[in-house]
C-alpha cells in the first residue's frame, strides 16, 4: 500500500505535468521521455520507496553516514558483493543510454556520466534518511556511475539505429 501512494503520485505528475507537453513535441520525444520517466520511477521503487509514507518518520531514526571506503565488501569478502556490484551497474545502464536521447543537443559522455554520478549520490544520501534500515556506500556511487558510462557506450554504438527508429516514429 505504501508503494501504491508513491506510484499514484508519480502517475499523476506524469499525466498532468509531462504527458501533454511531451506529446506536443512529437512521438519520438514522447517515447524517449516516457521511457526515461518510467525507468526513473523504477529506480525510485528499488532505491528510495516508500517516500511519501516515510516522510512523517524521517527524523525517527539516526542517520547513518555513507561508507566512504570503496569496495570494502570486496576487500573483506563480505556479503553478496558480486551481485550488488552487478545490480548497480545494470540499474544505471539504461540511464546512460536514455539520458543523451532526452537532451537537445544530445548529452556527451562526460555530462551523462556526471548526471549519473549526481543521481546516484542523491539516492545514496537519501536512502538512510528515508529508511533507518538502508545504508549508503561509495561503492554504489562508483558502480552506478560505471553503469551509466556503459549505457552511454551502448548509446554511442546504437545511436544510428536508435535515431532512425525515432525519425520513423515522427513521420507516422
What is each CA distance from 5 to 78, 152, 165, in whole angstroms? 35, 33, 35
Kindly report, residue by residue over 70-110, the tens digit of the pLDDT: 998 888 887 888 999 999 999 999 999 999 999 999 999 99
Q: How far apart are CA 141 and CA 89, in angstroms?
A: 10
pLDDT of residue 107: 96
pLDDT of residue 1: 78
131: left (phi over 0), alpha (psi -120 to 50) or beta: beta
pLDDT of residue 72: 86
What is each CA distance from 85 to 72, 100, 124, 131, 137, in whole angstroms? 12, 24, 14, 21, 11
pLDDT of residue 23: 97
pLDDT of residue 128: 92
pLDDT of residue 81: 87
pLDDT of residue 38: 98
Q: b/e per residue, 70-92, with b = 16+ CB within 10 A? A: eeebeeeeeeebeebbebbbebb
Query: In the chain, where are the structural domains located?
Result: 2-171
Cα 94 to chain centroid, rounded: 8
Residues in the chain predicted with pLDDT less than 70, given as ranges, are none
pLDDT of residue 48: 94
Looking at the DSSP assignment, which residues form a beta bridge with residue 67?
A: 137
pLDDT of residue 73: 84
Q: How far apart are CA 159 and CA 121, in angstroms?
A: 27
- Angle 2-13/27-47 helices, nearest 10 degrees? 160
Amino acid at each position: 500500500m505504501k508503494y501504491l501512494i508513491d506510484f499514484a503520485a508519480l502517475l499523476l505528475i506524469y499525466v498532468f505535468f509531462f504527458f501533454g507537453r511531451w506529446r506536443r513535441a512529437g512521438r519520438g520525444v514522447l517515447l524517449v521521455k516516457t521511457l526515461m520517466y518510467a525507468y526513473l520511477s523504477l529506480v525510485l521503487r528499488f532505491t528510495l520507496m516508500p517516500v511519501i509514507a516515510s516522510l512523517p518518520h524521517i527524523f525517527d531514526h539516526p542517520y547513518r553516514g555513507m561508507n566512504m571506503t570503496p569496495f570494502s565488501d570486496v576487500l573483506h569478502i563480505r556479503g553478496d558483493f558480486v551481485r550488488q556490484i552487478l545490480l548497480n551497474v545494470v540499474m544505471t545502464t539504461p540511464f546512460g543510454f536514455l539520458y543523451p536521447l532526452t537532451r537537445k543537443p544530445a548529452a556527451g559522455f562526460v555530462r551523462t556520466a556526471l548526471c549519473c554520478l549526481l543521481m546516484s549520490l542523491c539516492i545514496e544520501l537519501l536512502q538512510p534518511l528515508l529508511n533507518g534500515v538502508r545504508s549508503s556506500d561509495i561503492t554504489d556511487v562508483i558502480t552506478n556511475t560505471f553503469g551509466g558510462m556503459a549505457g552511454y557506450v551502448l548509446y554511442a554504438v546504437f545511436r544510428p539505429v536508435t535515431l532512425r527508429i525515432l525519425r520513423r516514429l515522427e513521420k507516422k
